[in-house]
Amino acid sequence: MGDPLRPYVPTNETPDEKRKRVNLEKQAKKRSEAIDKQLKAEREEREKQKMAKLLLLGSSESGKTTVLKQLKIIHGRGLSDERQRYRRIVHLNVLTAIKALAHALVTFGYPLKPENQQHLDRIVNLATIKNTLNRNSITVQAAIRNQQLDDNSIDLFVENMNSVVALWSDPAIKKCYNSASEIGLQDSAKYFLDNVGRFGKDDYLPTDEDILQARIRTVGVAEHKFEIADVIYKIYDVGGHRSQRHFWAPYFDDVNAIIFMAAISAFDQTLEDSDINRMDDSIQLFEEICNNPLMINTHIILFLNKIDILKQKLEYVSVKDYFSEYQGDNKFQSVTKFFQRKFLARNHNEEKHIYVHFTHATDTKQMRVIVASVNDIVQRMNLKASGLI
């Protein structure tokens, strides 16, 4: 019995019959190769639809890292593996906050309770956090990543905890806190200072909320993978500080969408290294990204973040004092619509879709709904790009 996979070749075929047979075999081979190529393309397209590449962009302190933490909680393995590492970061956040307030108190000259003067002196004379912890003066983030902080940050926190508690309870320091935007105080300062006692316990490990509130500057570019509704997402988080923005361009290629984050609560703040208004900086950066020739057809998902802080701030800060063109009332709905219009007006391409979400990135319940919405948007983009809708 012959090999069933080999084509049948007549033993008595004529030269003409052989030519016809060979031509038919070549045509069949071409058809087979074309079908294989089509099947491969369809398979690659299906795989592509199951993978999405997103860029997470925005100014520093806009909440990008917090969104990534939420993704780990909602669609990753949670934050359990990071608790011990974040214990150090929480302690650093506390010391950074009280040091900023202590310097502000000295600058403003507010009267302090006499019994707290020794605590003020102790905090004011505390060397910068970086120099105290790192003899080589590397960044705090790098030190934490490379496990070079060991227990120094914990010891430093314990040594100064009583001074932190005493100063935070003093009315003069609370008065300085009301000028948070003027002294560059981090948004989560009150959260950390209110919980100092809990952070000082020997068996303390950060909760999810502690980790979500913790702040540390992103340096360079980090890639994260998440599976959301059977879709693999590659999300690239890049540093938002102005000195880090030159890292962004190489990641613009083959991007499904950009998540651009802006802290809508920062309308009364300036950048730490200049007098530029943080909101103006975000709007200008958004315009540059939105109209970049490499991203001209890339849709953008705009997160106007920190609405919780905005609501609190509007009770005592007037938007008109910082944006003279604003003519509305100082209520949340009016203010958010105003800033939304300012961002959208910077888009020069009418074909580009910009999806806007007002976000509270530390609120896991809200972020769960928004992440589901983002997944739906990205999948519609993929289907449209492939001509299926």
For residue 297, being part of any structural domain is answered with: yes
Would 309 be classed as within a structural domain?
A: yes
Q: Among 151, 183, 213, which residue terminates a domain? A: 213
Judgement on whether residues 238 and 367 belong to the same structural domain of the protein: yes
Residue 131 lies in a domain: yes
Domain final residue pick, 156, 179, 213: 213
Helix (H) or strand (E) holding 260: strand 257-263
Annotated binding site: 61-66, 187-188, 212-218, 305-308, 361
Phi, psi of 255 (to 5 degrees): -95, 135
Let me know whether 328 and 244 are in one domain: yes
Domain interval for residue 102 = 80-213
Q: Using a pLDDT cut of 90, give the percent of the chain over it.
A: 41
Nearest-angstrom CA–CA distance, 329 and 326: 9
CATH code at position 170 = 1.10.400.10
CA 370/CA 368 separation, integer angstroms: 6
For the chain, where are the alpha helices, taking DSSP H only?
15-49, 64-75, 83-108, 117-124, 129-133, 140-145, 152-168, 171-177, 180-183, 189-194, 196-199, 208-213, 278-290, 307-313, 332-344, 364-385
Q: Do residues 204 and 239 share a domain?
A: no
Q: Annotated binding site for GTP: which residue ranges?
A: 61-66, 187-188, 212-218, 305-308, 361
The first and second tokens of residue 180, run together, are: 């948070």
Residue 36 located in a structural domain? no
| Residue 238, beta-bridge partner list | 221
Structure token pair of residue 159:
């040594």
**Model pTM?**
0.76
Domain end among 157, 181, 213:
213
Is residue 156 located within the same domain as residue 265? Answer: no
Residue 386 contacts residue 264 (beta carbons within 8 Å): no
Does residue 301 share a domain with residue 209? no
* 205, 239: one domain: no
Exposed/middle/buried for residue 164 (C-beta within 10 Å: 0-12, 13-18, 19+): buried
Which CATH number goes with the domain that contains 364?
3.40.50.300
Residue 225's pLDDT band, with cuts at 50, 70 and 90, is: confident
Residues 310 and 347 in one domain: yes
For residues 325 and 222, membership in a common domain is answered with yes
In a domain, 148, yes or no: yes
Q: Domain check: are 87 and 208 in the same one?
A: yes
144 plus 172 within the same structural domain: yes
- Please state the domain count of the chain: 2
**CB-based contact 371:74 (threshold 8 Å):** yes
Number of other CB atoms surrounding residue 204 within 10 Å: 18
Residue 314 reports pLDDT greater than 70: yes
In a domain, 45, yes or no: no
d(CA 253, CA 31): 34
Residue 34 inside a domain? The answer is: no
Kindly report, residue by residue over 249-307, the tens digit of the pLDDT. Answer: 666 677 888 899 999 999 999 887 778 999 999 999 999 888 988 887 788 999 999 99
* pLDDT tens-digit readout, 25-38: 788 788 778 777 77
Q: Do 224 and 357 have their domain in common? A: yes
Q: Would the pLDDT of 1 be above 70? A: no
141 vs 199: CA distance, rounded Å: 20
The pLDDT of residue 136 = 35
Say if residue 156 is in the same domain as residue 297.
Answer: no
Q: Which residues are annotated as a binding site for Mg(2+)?
A: 65, 218
Q: Using the predicted structure, report yes or no on whether residue 69 has a pLDDT greater than 60.
A: yes
Residue 48 located in a structural domain:
no
